[in-house]
Amino acid sequence: MSTTQTEPDSETGVDPRRWLALVVIAVAQLMVVLDASIVNIALPSAQEALGITDANRQWVITAYALAFGGLLLLGGRIADFIGRKRAFVIGLVGFGVASAVGGLAQNQGELFGARGLQGAFAALMAPAALSLITVTFSEPKERAKAFGVYGGISGGGAALGLILGGVLTEYASWRWTLLVNTPIAIATAAAAVVLVRESRAEGKPRYDIPGVVTSTLGLGALVYGFTKANESGWSAASTISLLAAAVVLLAAFVVIERKTAEPLLPPRVFTERNRAGAFLVSLLLGLALFGMFLFLVYYMQGTLHYSAVKSGLAFLPFSVGVIVGAGIASTVLPRFGPRPLMVGGTAMAAVGMLLFTQITVDGAYLSTVLPAQIVMSVGMGLAFVALSSTALVGVEEHDAGVASALVNTTQQVGGSLGTALLNTIAATATASYLSAQAGKAAEGLVHGYTVAFNWGLGALVLASVLSAVLVTKQRPAPEVEGEETAFEHAEELALI
């Protein structure tokens, strides 16, 4: 057996090292998800150390999210053609180097640039990771378990990043929230060379550069437009110009994808009913989840006066809840199919968000925040596993990387839009409250948070409705003697 490529077992036709490969893929995915949130708690320390202005500090977060979300589709296509294992290893090494540059940054420009590079390499690594799962695990029950691991990491990793960010910032340095990635990324890349099997799409590689430019710039203009609305107001010329540019660019992207021979986002990937439902639900979950993290951090540190470590640890129940929900989903998904899990999971998440709207200035963690976290996190875990599986089942192998990228893209785009849009909504609500009731700053801030939570609640209710309407009841047929044809057909639906 080669030391650099795992061959399928001659009798079973499956990769004998597939579970070890899953560990490698899981570690890489955890780093990608962590870095979307780990610097949140470290941001005040980084801002003070590098002299970053209040106006520019947002770019520590958005530089990563925009590069990641904007380049994921291209990353998925590159992974399809150059080889998913190769793209995975390149992404890991590049991510580790970019993390080191950010951790050693001496000014804000270096830090912003490093965060953008992290996002770009994550955009290559993440879709390769997910598509490697789809081609490594061909048996439906095993694939469901693998998606359970992936779903737990995708949902719980953001909360875990807040915990690690608090611990590293308080007991080491904000720089270690970035530097910690470097040795892990290099070691994971070395393990991937040995344990992960290569796969790639057939055909001559062609890349849709006009699609890349219009989609990336369009998403960037949209997120930045929401950010400018917070700074200058919705009626400001800069805000209107950015939002108008976003509409034009994204409309151009749609036209390009419909007409080009090798589209960045093939319409056939998005037009299948179940898959479209999964992508829309993923977008809405990202919006609600990122917004919840943002305002809950402010609430715990600003209103409840928690330290960085205490506020980070306060998110631990959320991580546990997502893992529990993902474990349940991976067990029951092959039997019941994705629809009950997506509808029930998003409805549970909505109930949790409804509880978050009840926070007050005099509120307590145990009576208000903790119950909301538990309910919302379990629901998120159920939904994440179901939508990840639904988004990829039945897609042609040639498009596996693009479909995988869309799972991550929708979450990141939803998170970026949610952070910018809900922050603007919260700030507007707070300003209106204070203009009517001067001198109640704490109450005004909490009012802004609850208004944002209500918008997040609306997104989750919509996600539940879309899950019920767009996702079918289809599930794998039972594995019973005499029913091989039906079960083999179910396996074909799962293969990519």
- Sign of dihedral through CA atoms 323, 331, 127, 464? negative
> Please, what is the angle between helix 370-392 and helix 273-298, to 10°?
150
131: nearest Cα among 400, 417, 412, 459: 400
> What does the pLDDT read at residue 400?
65
List of E strands, 159-211: none
Q: What is the pLDDT along the chain (496 residues), one digit of tens a residue?
A: 333 444 455 445 566 777 888 888 888 888 887 877 788 778 778 888 998 875 577 678 777 877 887 787 788 778 878 888 999 999 999 999 999 999 999 998 899 999 999 999 998 988 788 778 878 887 777 877 887 787 677 656 767 787 888 888 888 898 999 999 999 999 999 999 988 888 776 666 677 888 888 988 888 888 778 878 777 888 889 889 999 999 999 999 989 988 887 787 777 777 778 888 889 999 999 899 888 887 887 898 789 988 888 888 888 898 889 889 988 998 888 888 889 999 999 999 999 999 999 999 998 899 999 999 999 999 999 998 888 888 877 777 666 666 766 777 788 778 878 877 888 888 889 888 988 887 788 899 999 999 999 999 999 999 999 999 988 865 544 443 333 322 222 222 222 2
> What does the pLDDT read at residue 204?
67
What is the residue whose two structure tokens read 């998170």? 415
Quick one: 362 exposed, middle or buried, by C-beta within 10 A (0-12, 13-18, 19+)? exposed
The residue count of the chain comes to 496
> What does the pLDDT read at residue 155?
58
CA distance 40 to 332: 35
CA distance 150 to 167: 25
> Please, what is the angle between helix 140-171 and helix 370-392, to 10°?
140
| Cβ neighbours around 305 below 10 Å, total | 9
> What does the pLDDT read at residue 50?
92
Q: Are 487 and 477 in contact (CB under 8 A)?
A: yes
Q: Are 386 and 342 in contact (CB under 8 A)?
A: yes
CA distance 346 to 456: 12
Exposed e or buried b per residue across 117-139, where buried means at least 16 C-beta atoms within 10 angstroms of its C-beta:
bbbbbbbbbbbbbbbbbbbbbbb
Q: How far is CA 367 from the centre of its chain?
A: 29
Fold (topology level) of 18-198+264-494? Growth Hormone; Chain: A; (1.20.1250)
Q: How far is CA 259 from the centre of its chain?
A: 29
pTM of the model: 0.77
> What does the pLDDT read at residue 495?
26
DSSP line for 333-397: HHHH-HHHHHHHHHHHHHHHHHHHTT--TT--IIIIIHHHHHHHHHHHHHHHHHHHHHHHTT--G
Report residue 334 as tokens. Answer: 């092959």
Report residue 438 as tokens. Answer: 């001067």
Q: From residue 125, how far is each of 1, 114, 182, 265, 275 by CA, in Å?
A: 26, 16, 15, 18, 22
70 dihedral zone (left: phi>0; alpha: psi -120 to 50; beta):
alpha
Report residue 50 as tokens. Answer: 């590098």
